[in-house]
Amino acid sequence: GQQLNQSPQSMFIQEGEDVSMNCTSSSIFNTWLWYKQDPGEGPVLLIALYKAGELTSNGRLTAQFGITRKDSFLNISASIPSDVGIYFCAGPSGSNTGKLIFGQGTTLQVKP
Amino acid sequence: GAVVSQHPSRVICKSGTSVKIECRSLDFQATTMFWYRQFPKKSLMLMATSNEGSKATYEQGVEKDKFLINHASLTLSTLTVTSAHPEDSSFYICSAATSKGTMSSSFFGPGTRLTVL
């Protein structure tokens, strides 16, 4: 079945540093989604990518949809303490159902 | 817009009791709702897909008699954990999906923390 492999599993960085995480898939995806989850909360959508090669920004966040459609990365520039949380990549499982498959998550900790 | 609520946000119950969790889409009608389960420091695992007016579709390994899902309207789905045991303790998250043309968007609720003693 479909699987999403996300790396790194965790990161501990200094405030102000840039962060990069990526997600790879064993199969082609037509959509890539990046979510952030704060402790005790549900995931919140950060960026949605719909086209191979697409590069999209949301403030200090930038994500790209790989041209092979089997990978995506998320960059966070100039990290701040509130960036702390778990970041998940996700893609649709099946067609047009809203059903998602998630990566394992990247736990980000930022030292002030 | 696109707000999804869950109730309760956290619940503690005794082993053997049943617990109902509600998921509501507050400002849109959800064609489909999904129930996920998340263990500490783990990813979200899909449990079941819930469509209004029809039986839920369960993922492999999820007991349908254990996790009862009712989708009474386009804005409400409920998950009942029956005869709960400590191993059912987890973070349960719902999402509500809406379709526009060929695109589907999913919006997540804030989750419900279930602790079974």
Rounded to whole angstroms, how far apart are CA atoms A26 and A4?
Answer: 7
Residues of A with a Cβ under 8 Å from any B Cβ are: 35, 40-45, 50, 88, 92-93, 96-105, 107
A50, A92, A102: residue with CB nearest B44: A102
Query: Which tokens hold the place of B44?
Result: 């979200």
Question: CB distance A98–B103 less than 8 Å?
Answer: no
Distance from CA of B92 to the nearest CA of A (A): 9
Per-residue pLDDT of chain A (112 residues; tens, 9 = 90+): 678 999 999 999 999 999 999 999 989 998 999 999 998 999 999 999 999 999 999 999 999 999 999 999 999 999 999 999 999 999 988 765 678 899 999 999 999 8
Output the average pLDDT for chain A: 93
pLDDT tens by residue, B75-109: 999 999 999 999 999 999 999 987 665 556 789 99
Residues of chain B with pLDDT under 50: none
Which of A111, A108, A91, A112 minimizes the C-alpha distance to A9? Answer: A108
Residue type for A64, please?
A: Q
B34, B44, B104: residue with CB nearest A96: B104
Chain B contacts of A87, Cβ < 8 Å?
Answer: none
Best A37, A86, A89 member to test B by mutation, with max B CBs in 10 Å, is: A37
Number of Cβ within a 10 Å radius of residue A25: 21
